[in-house]
């Protein structure tokens, strides 16, 4: 009975998140965009791909638990944002639930960028419990920084970073900060900004704008890697319509964009 109740509560949170996205589209882009978003959501819920996704979700949850047991960390347990200290009105700015990224999706997305990790600092926006940061440590980044707003997730991420040790680890400078992504200042160094579907469209747009402003103050290579375990179609439009960005590559699960001098100059004009 408890499991059924938990599943119903999770389904209700997902529906609430989808309706919030539709309302946001109506407010920021008009009724037509809202209808398109609602149609996309309904098509996803009825598609065979969703059933396949649900089956894979169970498999990935088992793998996530194995990861936690192997390294003595806590990244696999899921929770709503309100359960980890985010006020209800602020939780609408996120995706409604914490879920650690799937390891194979992460590695596929990162390797697909073809970027020289040794030249870049990896910044995980909406770091959660630090799963992506731990996975990123297998690559020779200059350093790894996570940004997490939820107090409960931030504290767990700190503990995970403190105990994590892996024989494949190549980056040992890992730190997580408890901050609002809309207020946090990106470091003035070459960056790979990572997003595991953490924000609503509106907040994502504002975060992108803030990153572009950081480039204006200190021009350097800044890449944005957006990952979605369902489909990047869900938020690709946010990246594609930003004049500060140039789209580098995109597939079903990952989208790579770069803040470019020409685009950033046009955004300032």
Return the pLDDT at 211.
98
- Residue 81 located in a structural domain: no
Check whether residue 111 and residue 181 sit in a common domain. Answer: yes
Check whether residue 115 and residue 40 sit in a common domain. Answer: no
Q: What is the mean pLDDT of residues 75-98?
A: 81
Tokens standing for residue 85: 């200290």
Q: Who has greater pLDDT, 74 or 81?
A: 74
Q: What is the pTM of this model?
A: 0.79
- Looking at the predicted structure, is the pLDDT value of residue 48 above 80? no
Return the pLDDT at 269.
39
Of the candidates 31, 46, 61, which is a domain's last residue?
A: 46
Full residue range of the structural domain in which residue 156 is found? 98-268
Q: What is the mean pLDDT of residues 248-254?
A: 97
List, for residues 4-16, the tens digit of each pLDDT value: 555 555 556 566 6
Check whether residue 130 and residue 249 sit in a common domain. Answer: yes
Domain count for the chain, please give it: 2
- Residue 86 located in a structural domain: no
Q: What is the mean pLDDT of residues 245-250?
A: 97
Half-sphere exposure of 181 (CA within 13 A, CB side): 29
CATH number of the structural domain spanning residue 264: 3.40.50.150
- Residue 154 located in a structural domain: yes
Check whether residue 117 and residue 205 sit in a common domain. Answer: yes
- For CA atoms 66, 127, 200, 258, the dihedral sign is negative
- Residue 157 located in a structural domain: yes
Check whether residue 29 and residue 123 sit in a common domain. Answer: no
Question: Average per-residue pLDDT in the chain?
Answer: 86
Given a contact cutoff of 8 angstroms between Cβ atoms, the answer to whether 199 and 93 are in contact is yes
Residue (of 157, 142, 239) closest to 195 by Cα position: 239
Residue (of 120, 256, 124) closest to 189 by Cα position: 120
Check whether residue 114 and residue 223 sit in a common domain. Answer: yes
- Looking at the predicted structure, is the pLDDT value of residue 78 above 90? no
Return the pLDDT at 31.
74
Return the pLDDT at 50.
61
The C-alpha atoms of residue 246 and residue 257 are separated, in whole angstroms, by 5
- Residue 165 located in a structural domain: yes
The C-alpha atoms of residue 221 and residue 25 are separated, in whole angstroms, by 31
Return the pLDDT at 58.
80
Check whether residue 17 and residue 115 sit in a common domain. Answer: no
Output DSSP code: residue 126: T
Q: What is the mean pLDDT of residues 185-204?
A: 96
- Residue 62 located in a structural domain: no
Which of 35-49, 184-198, 233-247 is the least confident region? 35-49
- Looking at the predicted structure, is the pLDDT value of residue 28 above 90? no
- Residue 103 located in a structural domain: yes
- In the chain, the N- to C-terminal Cα span, in Å, equals 59
Given a contact cutoff of 8 angstroms between Cβ atoms, the answer to whether 26 and 34 are in contact is yes
List, for residues 105-134, the tens digit of each pLDDT value: 999 999 999 999 999 999 999 999 999 999
- Residue 61 located in a structural domain: no
């Amino acid at each position: 009975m408890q499991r059924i109740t938990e599943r119903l509560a999770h389904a209700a949170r997902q529906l609430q998140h989808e309706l919030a996205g539709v309302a946001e589209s109506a407010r920021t882009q008009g009724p037509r965009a809202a209808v398109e978003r609602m149609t996309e959501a309904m098509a996803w819920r009825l598609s065979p791909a969703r059933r396949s996704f649900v089956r894979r979700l169970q498999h990935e949850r088992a793998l996530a638990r194995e990861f936690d047991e192997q390294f003595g960390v806590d990244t696999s347990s899921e929770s709503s944002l309100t359960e980890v200290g985010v006020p209800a009105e602020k939780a609408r700015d996120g995706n409604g639930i914490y879920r650690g990224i799937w390891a194979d999706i992460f590695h596929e997305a990162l390797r697909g960028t073809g970027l020289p990790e040794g030249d870049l600092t990896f910044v995980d926006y909406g770091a959660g419990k630090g799963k992506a940061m731990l996975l990123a440590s297998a690559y020779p980044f200059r350093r790894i920084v996570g940004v997490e707003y939820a107090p409960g997730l931030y504290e767990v991420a700190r503990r995970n970073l403190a105990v994590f040790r892996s024989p494949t680890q190549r980056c040992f400078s890992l730190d997580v900060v408890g901050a609002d992504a809309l207020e946090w200042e990106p470091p003035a160094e070459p960056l790979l900004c990572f997003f595991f579907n953490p924000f609503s469209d509106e907040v994502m747009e504002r975060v992108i704008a803030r990153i572009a402003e950081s480039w204006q103050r200190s021009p350097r290579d800044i890449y944005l890697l957006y990952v979605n375990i369902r489909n990047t179609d869900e938020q690709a439009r946010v990246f594609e319509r930003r004049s500060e960005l140039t789209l580098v590559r995109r597939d079903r699960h990952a989208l790579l964009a770069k803040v470019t001098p020409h685009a950033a100059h046009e955004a300032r004009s």
